[in-house]
Structure 1
Amino acid sequence: MDNLSEILSVTKVKSSLYFRTAFTAPWGVTVPSFNHVARFHYVSKGQCWVRVDGESDPQCLEQGDLVVVPLGRAHTLSDTPDRKPTALDRLVEEAKYEGDGCLVYGGPETQAPTALICGHFEYADEILNPLLRQLPPAIVLRRTLIGDVEWLDEGLLFLSKEIDGDRPGRDALVQRISEILLIQVLRQYLEHAPEGSTPVSALRDPRLARALEVMHHRPEDRWTVASLAAEAGMSRTAFAGRFQQLMGLAPLEYLTDWRLRKATKLLRETGSPVRVIAYQCGYESEAAFARAFKKRFGVSPGEYRRTHLPAQQH
């Protein structure tokens, strides 16, 4: 399994919400910030402008474009870049939208309506992997890029139909699509993002990618900075400096983060005893593992497992 797949294998979507909108000019809406949530907007008809909080310039989205706000930052959507927006909760109230069907809002201009598929999904982990934490405020996938992935455009249209229906299994299906959509967006971003001092560059750097690979695949090994540097084919000093520069934390800090993240996955998805999971994640004793786990997540491994069991196992 490659590094991106490993990282995403322990990044789960806890819940999802989708709805369709139909806006007519003049219109504008401000979507508030929200922790642990990624939001997206897909332009199925017309065009609009998006401005993300903290970003200086708005971007125009054409039909077929997709914007993802991966860390839940506040943002504005509107028919023109200088339109004064309405707060989302007020807009929903004014539109008398109750959560079903299409949210219709705007002015009298009906010649060039904008139709969006909007949604958000909540990350199951309160603390994201460093790669995800350092994603840009917004990721825009243009229709030309989406067109290279045949199923993505069709999948979003399929999603639109599922939102309006009430067929058995709808909620489970929508959640699976959410995870697939997140993976595809990140894959496209990683493949086309510019080079820079970010975790993206770490995944592209074959030396650091090798070090990440052994940490991901063999977290139980007794790694040191020196042994990881040897895997990367670099000196200890050069490796530690480069890793810190690109990942935003030291190699052994990342390793600890990964071990505990891996442990949450094993606690959620397997029935293995805690002592076995402790060993699989590089801890020599269950007590040491429990201390590290509680320091990080605020609960013991056993408590975490009980609160994250599938509903049918409660």
Structure 2
Amino acid sequence: MEIPGGDDLIGELLRPLRLTGVFDSRWHVNAPWAIEGDAESSCAVLHYIVEGGCWITGEGHQPLQLRAGDLAFFPTGIAHRLSDRPDRQGLPLRAVLPRRTPGTSGEIRIEGTGARSRLLCAGLHYDASAATGLYRALPWVLVLDGSQVSREPLLGDTLALLAATDRPTAPGDRLITLRAFEMALVLAMRPLLRELSSSPAALPVLGHPGISKAMVIIATRFAEPWTVESLAREAGMSRSAFTAAFRSLVGEAPARHLTGRRMQEAVRLLGETSLPQSSVPERVGYRSAVGFHLAFRKWFGKTPGEYRTTCTAGLAGS
């Protein structure tokens, strides 16, 4: 089934989240074992099975079995359990890894008498402003099996390097690790989202031509003077029907989604470019500098100037 605007919409979901830090750990476990992970705020979670296998269990979901070479990605860091058997209750992750500070690494060893497994696990902390309603609407877990990973050689090589127990350390390693996980995330999302695009039931917005078209417009033409009425016209719908369908499928109102996309671009321009601050409002769809300033402060709790100063200080200290 071909989904109108599907490729463009999937392309927007492939925009890398702005990772702000990574805590990664290598697990060496022998059955019996089970680890209960808490829900993570503004944090995606990645599990790569290096050797052996495990089960993933989440409340209200059927258990999933993973084998060596498989990769599981939790877009919104929902609470879940990893174990050698789906019905086994385990230790809280905070009990075995009490400190999971971004920028550091850890290790878990469980010396059982049963089958051995090795895993690479990572908490990918991201800028919450980049997580749109569409991103938050992704399934609780996305899985690439070993054959899919093998068809993405760069992804496999990156995961193998990150999973290595003798991974080299040197000046700049923290930044390199962050960027490597960021690349692994994007490389993993590409085939995962391609698969979703052929299954509208998994992400219903992809099956709605009017809302999909509006989503692509917001993603790519956010600097234009859109209103809910003009977006509804583009979608070929009445304002009320458009607003209701958008909220139902995307998880937030169209005006908020548009503001979120503009703010996402604003922080990119302020944090990653030398564009004069006075030029940012027009670049992101605001005709008034005052209006942009107020919207930015309401969204982030700080002014554009304060945000840029914080980014500059962070770069200087990295």
TM-score, structure 1 as length reference: 0.85
The answer for the alignment partner of 1:214 in structure 2 is 217
CA contact (8 A) 1:48 1:62 kept: yes
Secondary structure class of the residue paired with 2:312: coil
Closer, same or farther: CA 101–285 of 1 in aligned 2, 3 Å: closer
Closer, same or farther: CA 106–56 of 1 in aligned 2, 3 Å: farther
Secondary structure class of the residue paired with 2:294: helix
The answer for the alignment partner of 1:96 in structure 2 is none
Aligned partners of 2:270, 2:42: CA distance in 1, in Å?
Answer: 21
The equivalent position to 1:14 in structure 2, one of 4, 20, 32, is: 20
Question: Are 1:191 and 2:178 counterparts?
Answer: no
The answer for the alignment partner of 2:127 in structure 1 is 124
The equivalent position to 1:173 in structure 2, one of 176, 185, 193, is: 176
The answer for the alignment partner of 1:43 in structure 2 is 49
CA contact (8 A) 1:10 1:261 kept: no
The equivalent position to 1:34 in structure 2, one of 40, 51, 56, is: 40
The equivalent position to 2:110 in structure 1, one of 99, 105, 110, is: 105
The equivalent position to 1:86 in structure 2, one of 83, 91, 108, is: 91
CA contact (8 A) 1:219 1:280 kept: no
Deviations 1:219-254 (Å, cap 9, x if unpaired)?
Answer: 221112343244445555554444333212332232
Aligned partners of 1:224, 1:31: CA distance in 2, in Å?
Answer: 42
CA contact (8 A) 2:26 2:108 kept: yes
The equivalent position to 2:76 in structure 1, one of 51, 55, 71, is: 71
The answer for the alignment partner of 2:299 in structure 1 is 296
How far the C-alpha of 1:310 sits from its partner, in A, is 5.8
Q: Which amino acid aligns with 1:169?
A: G
The answer for the alignment partner of 1:155 in structure 2 is 158
Secondary structure class of the residue paired with 1:132: helix
The answer for the alignment partner of 1:266 in structure 2 is 269
Aligned partners of 1:242, 1:101: CA distance in 2, in Å?
Answer: 44
Aligned partners of 1:247, 1:101: CA distance in 2, in Å?
Answer: 36
Aligned partners of 2:281, 2:124: CA distance in 1, in Å?
Answer: 30
Would you say how many aligned residue pairs link Structure 1 and Structure 2? 304
Aligned partners of 2:308, 2:163: CA distance in 1, in Å?
Answer: 34
Deviations 1:60-95 (Å, cap 9, x if unpaired)?
Answer: 1111111112212222111111222112233348xx
Secondary structure class of the residue paired with 1:81: coil
* Most deviating of 84-93 and 139-148: 84-93
Secondary structure class of the residue paired with 2:164: helix
CA RMSD of superposed structures (Å):
2.7
Q: Which amino acid aligns with 1:182?
A: L
Aligned partners of 1:100, 1:174: CA distance in 2, in Å?
Answer: 10
How far the C-alpha of 1:4 sits from its partner, in A, is 4.2
Deviations 1:8-40 (Å, cap 9, x if unpaired)?
Answer: 547200011222211111111112222111111
Aligned partners of 1:100, 1:177: CA distance in 2, in Å?
Answer: 14
The equivalent position to 2:67 in structure 1, one of 54, 62, 83, is: 62
Closer, same or farther: CA 167–160 of 1 in aligned 2, 3 Å: farther
Structure 2: gaps (5+ residues): 1-6, 99-103
The answer for the alignment partner of 1:257 in structure 2 is 260
Aligned partners of 2:303, 2:165: CA distance in 1, in Å?
Answer: 39
Secondary structure class of the residue paired with 1:309: helix
Aligned partners of 2:293, 2:159: CA distance in 1, in Å?
Answer: 42
Identity of aligned residues (%): 32
Aligned partners of 1:148, 1:204: CA distance in 2, in Å?
Answer: 27
Secondary structure class of the residue paired with 1:308: helix
Secondary structure class of the residue paired with 1:164: coil
Secondary structure class of the residue paired with 2:21: strand
Q: Which amino acid aligns with 1:224?
A: T
How far the C-alpha of 1:212 sits from its partner, in A, is 2.7
Aligned partners of 1:180, 1:236: CA distance in 2, in Å?
Answer: 39
Structure 1: gaps (5+ residues): 94-98
How far the C-alpha of 1:190 sits from its partner, in A, is 2.1
Aligned partners of 1:310, 1:179: CA distance in 2, in Å?
Answer: 22
Closer, same or farther: CA 177–204 of 1 in aligned 2, 3 Å: farther
